[in-house]
Amino acid sequence: MAINGFANAAIELGLTNLVLVKPKRGISKPLLANGTYLNDIIAQATIEEKHDDELEITNHPIEQGAAIQDHAFLRPSMVTLRLGWSNSPSDNSALGALANIGVSTLGAAGGAVGAAAANVLGIAAAAQSLLSGSNVDQVTNIYNQLLVLYMNRAIFTLYTGKRPYYNMICKGLHTETNWETANTLPITMECQQLLLVNTSTVKLPTISQANPQQTGQLVNRGIQQAFLSQTSSLNL
């Protein structure tokens, strides 16, 4: 009866999707401008992922045989994530262990009945841990980590269900708090890829420049002695 009661409480709180949606997603090795790495951020639940990849294509006519890459180039990838955290303790807690035991035991029975019972037990354990206030600061801590990531323009690797994205930056964070989400952290996170390139400086010979006095490279002529004319010396 107790398990059913907690399961009903979880459903009323809207925690069923947050508990059961798998697998986890993660932000790996966020790098600050000073070379410092932040801690990885792993979502407890990934509710939705939206992947956007586009080409920028020029509208003017293209000569036959021209390099198409010069007229149709990749735009930065965009990923929008709906992530979720709660104040429930981690899976290695007593309640998390209880849920895992229930899943392994009831799931081994096979069939829809075993799977449904395992889900109920998992929801019950998570709801019980949330209602007990076992880890009331977890949501705040995660939100602060995301704010540091965003405010410092950290570059990171984003792992999703489709593929990893490299050189990503957090473009926006959106969350909403009401009576239903007071103990959870639903986050909509917009990430954009940075297109990093290598640049080099090329020195052109002065003979190929129309006005080398203005556009030529600086030339080291060694130590030069300054001379004053006789007239200038008398004036001094």
Q: Each residue of 92-123: pLDDT tens digit?
A: 444 444 444 444 444 444 445 444 544 454 45
The CA dihedral of 15, 16, 20, 21, to the nearest 10 degrees, is -80
228, pLDDT greater than 70: no
pLDDT tens digits, one per residue of 84-99: 998 875 544 444 444 4
Domains in the chain, CATH or no CATH each? 2-193 (2.30.110)
5, pLDDT greater than 80: no
Segment 155-159 long-range contacts (CB within 8 Å, at least 24 positions apart):
155/30, 155/31, 155/194, 156/27, 156/28, 156/29, 156/30, 156/31, 157/27, 157/28, 157/29, 158/25, 158/26, 158/27, 158/28, 158/79, 158/191, 159/25, 159/26, 159/27, 159/28
Cut 0.75: pTM above it: no
Q: What is the pLDDT of residue 118?
A: 44
231, pLDDT greater than 50: yes
- Six token digits for residue 120: 């109920």
